[in-house]
Amino acid sequence: MTDVVVAGAAGRMGARIVACLQGDADLKVAAALEAVGHAALGADAGETAGIGKLGVSITSDPRAVITKDRVLIEFSVPEATLAHLELVAEVGARAVIGTTGFTPAQREHIAELGRRAAIMMAPNMSVAVTVAYQALALVARALGDDYDVEITEIHHRFKKDAPSGTALRMAEVVAEALGRDLGKVGVYGRQGMTGERTSKEIGVMSLRSGDVVGEHTVSFGTLGERLELTHRAHSRDTFARGALRAARWITGRGPGLYSMQDVLGL
């Protein structure tokens, strides 16, 4: 049985991870973390998740709970995640990270930490989304430059970063398959007299509405037809179950920065 530390345990994703860990044959909640000053500090993680008392109190002291051989699962904010990953690398723990919104410099720092610790990081833990990345690369290569690529994503009104990490990863996958530099061809929203669409650009549009869990559509369009690939998440449990699958996989792995493709063997 592997001990799991859930960071952001009172958040939307953290609470579902705590709930989905109940009854797991391989993983158990050993500790729960929240930010200093959070209203849930001291509360029972199980009660906060709506599943009854677990006997695990939510704390704000990561050094006390991120210890050797434990697995950190985190969906929070970049600054907190980086601080926790420093501890993971220091003490010999492992980590499954679903946090998004990292800057390029922060991503480089995580890659450096991956030389000292086993870190699985993905902008979307959904198994189906991970498979979709593979399909997108295949479609992009087959259709080539004759098809315009547009990506739209919809999330709940509380999401802090845009575009979503999943939409950005989809754009990266398509750009790589087409031999393009996303930094040069990415277009994020349009307004005014923008002129005709160029053949190389990859559009990424973000919508924020109500309680939408997550929806992503990649459209390949040309004169006469359009092909779309859409993923809709109906529940956050989709991401929680993927994170738990990753936590089981990373147990016993050596240092490295891994992805959900590694978890699924793709």
Give residue 252's pLDDT: 85
Out of 84, 155, 216, 231, the active site residue is 155
pLDDT in tens, 18-65: 999 998 999 999 999 999 999 999 999 999 999 999 999 999 999 999
At residue 179, does pLDDT exceed 90?
Answer: yes
pLDDT at residue 13 greater than cutoff 90: yes
d(CA 6, CA 18): 7
CA–CA distance, 94 with 183 (Å, rounded to integer)? 31
Q: What span, in angstroms and rounded, lies between the C-alpha atoms of 124 and 114?
A: 19
As a whole-number percent, the residues of the chain with pLDDT over 90 amount to 96
Among residues 159, 184, 200, 234, the one annotated as catalytic is 159
pLDDT in tens, 69-83: 999 999 999 999 999
In the prediction, which pLDDT does 10 show?
96
Pairing mode, strands 202-208 and 94-97: unpaired
Domains and CATH numbers, the chain: 2-121+236-264 (3.40.50.720), 127-233 (3.30.360.10)
Q: Which residue has the tokens 């909640």?
A: 29
**Tens digits of residue pLDDT in 134-159:** 999 999 999 999 999 999 999 999 99
Is there a catalytic annotation at residue 68?
no
The residues, any chain, with a CB within 8 Å of residue 22's CB and separated by 6 or more, are 46, 51
Angle at 249 between CA 244 and CA 255, to 5 degrees: 120
- C-alpha 164/C-alpha 152 separation (Å) is 10
The answer to whether residues 93 and 226 touch, using CB atoms and an 8 Å cutoff, is no
pLDDT, tens digit, for every residue of 116-133? 999 999 988 999 999 999
Q: What is the spatial distance between Cα 5 and Cα 177, in angstroms, rounded to a whole number?
A: 37
Select from 203, 89, 222, 112 the least CA-distant residue to 150: 203
Tell me if residue 155 is catalytic.
Answer: yes
With bands split at pLDDT 50, 70 and 90, how would you rate the model's confidence at 17?
A: very high
What is the H or E stretch that residue 187 is in? strand 186-187
What is residue 186's predicted lDDT score, i.e. its pLDDT? 97
